[in-house]
Structure 1
Amino acid sequence: MFNPSRDQARQFLIDVWAKRRNRLPGTPMDTLAADLVALHPEYHALLEAEDALTREWTPEQGETNPFLHLSLHLAIEEQLSIDQPPGIRAAFNTLQSRRGDRHEALHDVLECLGEMLWRAQRSRLPPDGDAYVDCVRRKAG
């Protein structure tokens, strides 16, 4: 799943959560995704809803898109596993140590990732990995 459509990405998360609920085996990526979903009980019913593939979540409605949130979590886990951008793992480890809670630290990183992506889209420039890592470091500061 290197360039999934919106529906494919959503279906992946729906499917891994169904596998977890039904105690079915999955791939290592399935397990990672299901573990992330498990950390977000506020999304469980949404992932089980009939309209999960078609529903829209907009900031104007004051709602967080659960699929975007979980996808960003997956991206961060991949970044940490390969230390890309360079320095993200060390910055995260410092942040996690200071926060005392891995999930809370991941949410801090998620904010930095979201900001970096927003800036890249707005400026129509490539994402700035150095600014991203610096943001994580500031949160750990």
Structure 2
Amino acid sequence: NQEVQQEFQKLTAHYLKVAGTDLFTMFSALKRRKKEDFKDKYQRILLTLPSYHDLKDENSYHMMLLGMCAWLCHDYKIISNREAGKGRCDIVLKARKENQISYILEFKYAKDSNTDLKELAKTTVEQIKDRKYDTEISGKIIYIGLAHYQKNVEIEWQEK
């Protein structure tokens, strides 16, 4: 199974035209709770992977990161757009082991360059909490709000 997963990871990196080390580093930062390292690597991927024309709405970022999350399938159940609590959250990385942290990721896209991305990221995390997207998850959880404008991103990261 590990050989298949490694080949799948290589294929994903190749298909997305991202260095496997970039994905490894980004997800390693996520697992180690290194918010700034995660943000820096994600920002770098945004600057190098997608075309400006590919980033049209919230779903563009959601689908891009969802594809990259395939790297995590061994450690996490990857859930996308599933109803939870009082709504439907974008991505849940539900830990397969009790001692691991689960993650809830919610995406927002600003249509205007004057939008305060830091504030938008904060309200995104508030949406996660208000709509109780964590209802079916036990243990430690990190809420991550990702606010985008074109190839720019701000991240709000709160631990439950």
TM-score after normalising by structure 1: 0.28
Higher strand fraction (1 or 2): 2
Higher helix fraction (1 or 2): 1
Larger CA Rg, structure 1 vs 2 = 1
